[in-house]
Amino acid sequence: MPLYSFADITLSSSTPLADLPAAMNEKKHPDFTFQVMGSPPAEPDGTGWVHDWQTTSGDITLSLARIDKGFLLRFPALADFIIDESGSGIEVWPATETDEETVRHLLLDQVMPRVLSSRGRLVLHASAVCIDGRALAFVGETGEGKSTLAASLHLSGHQLLTDDGLVLKAEGGCIQAIPGYSGLRLLPESVAALFKETPAGKAMAFYSTKKRVLLSQNDAIDAVELAALFVLAKPEQGKKDFDIRVSRLSQRDACMELVRNSFKLDVNNRKQVKALFSTATEVAERLPVFLLSYPRDFSCLIDVHNAILQQYRAAAMETSKKLRTESADCQG
């Protein structure tokens, strides 16, 4: 089966995954395997179901059950994904109307980040771009504008790292950002506003109006040092116009935002929850994390860019000054 790169792991698949780059260093055994099931999975009994993810209106978008083989992730009326006990084998049983694009979206943008989180990774609902050789990440829930902001920065000359699904790990005294894969998922109005010419693309999933914009860049991206995180806040209710606001979060608030905006598989697994809080705490201690609030108006995006760069570079100068002072104190 073809071998692909996703974040820093390899994935073999019985179906094409055109969004992913081919693995450069082929392993004898991939980290994960993915294939379509030959028959539907057995229905879990009532005690097997352990968690539901719901919208604010109460609609269930995803359910988790424990089964003999491991876990079942059910996207109601869309697909069932089976994850084996080791977390390395993934199978899918799609509903009749669920096409390949939708299966690919669910696998790459929902299932794989949760599987990686079950292996002790901190995986954020975050887009990211590379600026001055370091990564800036934008954290937020679906609909907060992460993709539009990342796309606009990419079109301004800053390389897109990922649209969503960013793995963080502490290494060598810094926080490394590992993109799941590059690519953009944008609403039609964002595509029309950002691109002078309509880019190549296709439907993200049959149930969504979002388009998966195809970029010429489709190579595996190495880990990049993460310089700062921006948590996207909702626009103020009842106000059409308000200033762009950037404020630094306390370490405690930053940690809670990281946990809240992370992917999770088994939310009842205490060991995994403890590891998540531990990594989030370390990230919040080492990195500046900002709350970013701005009007959702395409015409002000350049001003948003300037505010982001100003805060990031000011924080970088502060960190550099602190390190020089600490170095001088040690030498003294």
- Lowest-confidence region among 151-165, 215-229, 273-287: 215-229
Contact call for residues 4 and 10 (beta carbons, < 8 A): yes
Which helix (H) or strand (E) covers residue 260, if one does?
Answer: helix 251-260
Calpha distance 121→193 (Å, rounded):
35
Confidence bin at 100 (pLDDT 50/70/90): very high
87 has pLDDT over 80: no
What is the structure's pLDDT at 319? Answer: 64
Calpha distance 234→232 (Å, rounded):
7
Predicted TM-score (pTM) of the model is 0.91
60-67: strand order across its sheet: 3-6, 9-13, 32-36, 89-94, 79-84, 70-75, 60-67, 49-54
- Bridge partners, 259 (sequence order): none
Place of tokens 């691109």: 195
Confidence bin at 71 (pLDDT 50/70/90): very high
Query: What number is the average pLDDT over the span 262-289?
Result: 93
- The tokens of 308 are what? 């982001």
Q: How are beta strands 49-54 and 201-203 bridged, if at all?
A: unpaired
Q: Which residue segments constitute the domains of the chain, with CATH numbers given? A: 3-39+47-119 (no CATH), 123-331 (3.40.50.300)
Is the model more confident about 99 or about 144? 99
Q: Model confidence over 163-198: pLDDT tens digits?
A: 989 999 888 788 999 998 888 899 999 999 999 888
55 has pLDDT over 70: yes
